[in-house]
Chains A and B, each alone.
Chain A
Amino acid sequence: MHKTGIIVCLLLMSLAAIAWHVPFASASVSLKSTLSTGYYRDAEQDSHVPAYLYWNFNHVAKNGIETFLNVGLNNAVMEDLWRIYVYEAMLSFPIWQGFEDAPYRTSRLQVGRQLFYEGFELSLLDGLQLPFYWSQTGGMTLAAGSANSVYVSEPNWESQVYGGTVHENFAGALWKAGYFFNYRENQDSRNLVEASVLKIWNQFFLHPMVFLRGQMNLPSLSLYQSMAEIQLVPLEDVTVNVSAEGNLPNQLLPENQEFIYRMFATSRQNTYRLSTAWAPGRSFHTEASLRYILFDSQKGDENANHYDLSIDTIVSDLNLGGQVGHIRSYGGEVSYGGVKILKSLSHKTKLRLEGSMAWVDKINQIQGWAYHGRSGMDFRLASRFILSALAEVERNHLFDMDARAILYVSHFYF
């Protein structure tokens, strides 16, 4: 493992060296390097010192070609266990520079490792994506490559996806439709078709918004996944949102990656949600939500619910947030509450305070209170260096009193 660690360090150092020299030769470079480390004990009282290095690099050349790199290096220091993660390694070639008042809608070819989010799925794609706009409201996106779990570092060609989507504004609504052929090694291929519509009636009473989406596998013509959402604005500051969803695990990934889902559920998961938010201004926001979830487990029908009330307010340079809630499932019940405070002391220092408590009653007969507190400071050591030092304590059925220390050092260049 030592060898791997040294190779990885050399690789990152060479990347940093390239980044150091690139600003003198290119148009625009921005990068962020974050080193974080900490200390904690596990339930067996063994000590752990994890260390993470994240390196994020973005370069825009004069000809508009962009380079994105997001790499993570992790080491469990006590065990000398190294891991490297490539979250993003992509080149973007501009085809069209976008519109005067919407420069973010650029037609481009993206090559490399990137996020792929279409239909109901979120995956890492090793391949190509081609977003192309013919108007500010219309365009298409083509995609081809292997779909990977977000945890996979090496490209895995077991599941491949080819297809695209088209979107256009028509009759005052945004319509989107797409087709993806999903090749899966040692399994039947899928022909996934999806369609969505989003319509807002701003001129009518309650300003209703309707959002519908469905996905089906063409040969079986079965509706794999679907969702419907209605949003109303009964008062100027009050919004009510009601939704119903039927979801399956990511359909583009190999079946063995649904393992955790299959431990708890054997059917599609249906979720019904009612949320209401009161936001009288940008400085104050409160939200209450209720979720009711249904699915089949290996034992039979299961249902669960979740209530949550949160408040978020900004008074001058003070951010204050609070949350209370209750979860009930066939795994037990949890009632929780907590507060978060973020206060700017000066333009160089920020204070963080967090505290929370929860009552836990689980099916394995564990019952009791869990407490957690965290406090720390952010320091801007120089214009491009930020240091965050945090200490946290917790008390629960595993620990009478456990303490942790966390340190972040970030360097920015832009």
Chain B
Amino acid sequence: MFRIFIFNLFCFFMFGAMAQAADKPSVLILPPSGLFSHPNHKKVLEELGVSCTDCHNFSIKNKKKGPLVSPVPKGFIKPSLHVCHQCHFGRVNLPRPNQCEACHVNSRALRPQDHYIAWKNRHGKMAQMDRDRCKQCHTQNSCDQCHLQIDTMNPSNHPASFRLYHSVEARMNPQSCVTCHQRRTFCSDCHFGRRQ
């Protein structure tokens, strides 16, 4: 038994080390040229008063030196990597769990460091302390997904089989039930036969 435990512990740390070695920022769903569509953005950018040079600002200089080298490379019109964030980082809202998922494959890999420790318990308190910091990535829709939207087929914050042992958890942490379930008839809906 002890050997199995030691082996599991070894595998666990090895896996952590391998993941650390392979660590890289979240990749994009498509190359930037495939994600950004000029025709789709044209009208919006015109109406918001965003001009061509706000993105294509000639800031990229050619790294090659010499009299025959053009001052800027062929791809000079390519905007910097973070130009999308000028609008999508707090100014424009997309109704998704977080708007990073519009372009990034794995938005979980973009989480800030403080989201790693006890975040399910702490996120509300931190949001109450600095309410608009969340707006960099989230809209109220992110809160709605778990706190408001009722989806009995796929409840986002209850584990599988929760229906069977919710009575044990309710007697452990009754405070957590009333964060959402405040209707007096909520229990009787199932326990007295209105819904199973």
Which A residues contact B (CB, under 8 angstroms)?
26-28, 30-32, 36, 38, 40, 42-44, 46, 48, 50, 52, 54, 56-58, 60, 62, 66, 68, 70, 72, 74, 76, 85, 87-88, 98, 102-106, 114-115, 117-120, 122, 124, 131, 141, 149-151, 167, 174, 176, 196, 198, 211, 213, 227, 229, 231, 239, 241, 243, 247-250, 253, 256-261, 263-265, 269, 271, 273, 275-287, 289, 291, 293, 295, 297, 302, 304-306, 311-317, 319, 323, 327-334, 336, 338, 344, 347, 354, 356, 358, 360, 362-364, 370-372, 374, 390, 394, 396-398, 404, 406, 412, 414
Contact = CB atoms under 8 A, between A and B. Distances in A.
B113 A279 contact: yes
B184 interface: yes
A370 B164 contact: yes
A238 B19 CA distance: 15
Nearest to A302: B171
Given A231-B117, A247-B175, A313-B15, A117 B128 contact: yes
A60 B22 contact: no
A66 B183 contact: no
A360 B168 contact: yes
B147 interface: yes
A260 B129 contact: no
A356 B159 contact: yes
Contacts of B90: 98, 102-104
B164 A397 contact: yes
Closest 4 CB pairs of A and B: A42-B196, A281-B23, A104-B90, A284-B19
B20 A362 contact: no
Interface of B: 12, 15-20, 22-27, 29-30, 44, 47-48, 89-96, 102, 105-106, 108-111, 113, 116-118, 121-122, 124-125, 127-133, 135-136, 139-141, 143-144, 147-154, 159-161, 164-165, 167-175, 177-184, 186-187, 195-196
Among B26, B92, B113, B182, which residue has the most Cβ atoms of chain A within 10 A? B182
Contacts of A319: 106, 108
B167 A362 contact: yes
A347 B103 CA distance: 11
A282 B180 contact: no
Contacts of B102: 414
A300 B87 CA distance: 56
Contact of B136 (A74, A104, A276, A329): A104
B172 A327 contact: yes
Nearest to B171: A331
B129 A196 contact: yes
A106 B89 CA distance: 13
Nearest to A31: B95
Contacts of B144: 70, 87-88, 115
A174 B96 contact: no
A314 B106 contact: yes
A283 B109 contact: yes
A233 B100 CA distance: 28
Given A60-B93, A314-B109, A114 B116 contact: no
Given A87-B148, A273-B118, A370-B164, A260 B177 contact: yes
Given A103-B91, A239-B116, A260-B187, A174 B130 contact: yes
Given A284-B16, A372-B161, A103 B89 contact: yes
Contacts of A412: 94-96
Contacts of A347: 29-30
A115 B179 contact: no
Given A28-B48, A284-B19, A347-B30, A249 B178 contact: yes
A394 B161 contact: yes
Given A56-B95, A66-B93, A280-B17, A249 B175 contact: yes
B172 to A, nearest CB: 4
A30 B87 CA distance: 14
Contact of A260 (B47, B147, B170): B170
A243 B182 CA distance: 26
A394 B22 CA distance: 36
A229 B122 CA distance: 10
B20 A150 contact: no
Contacts of A297: 171
Contacts of A87: 144, 148-149
A356 B161 contact: yes
B96 A36 contact: no
Given A104-B132, A259-B184, A347-B29, A404 B153 contact: yes
A174 to B, nearest CB: 7
A304 B131 contact: no
Nearest to B127: A117
Contacts of A167: 129-130
Contacts of A261: 174-175, 177-178
A57 B195 CA distance: 31
Given A50-B152, A58-B139, A323-B159, 15 more contacts: A38-B153, A60-B92, A87-B149, A98-B90, A104-B91, A117-B127, A196-B128, A260-B174, A282-B25, A282-B26, A311-B12, A317-B106, A329-B168, A331-B172, A362-B165
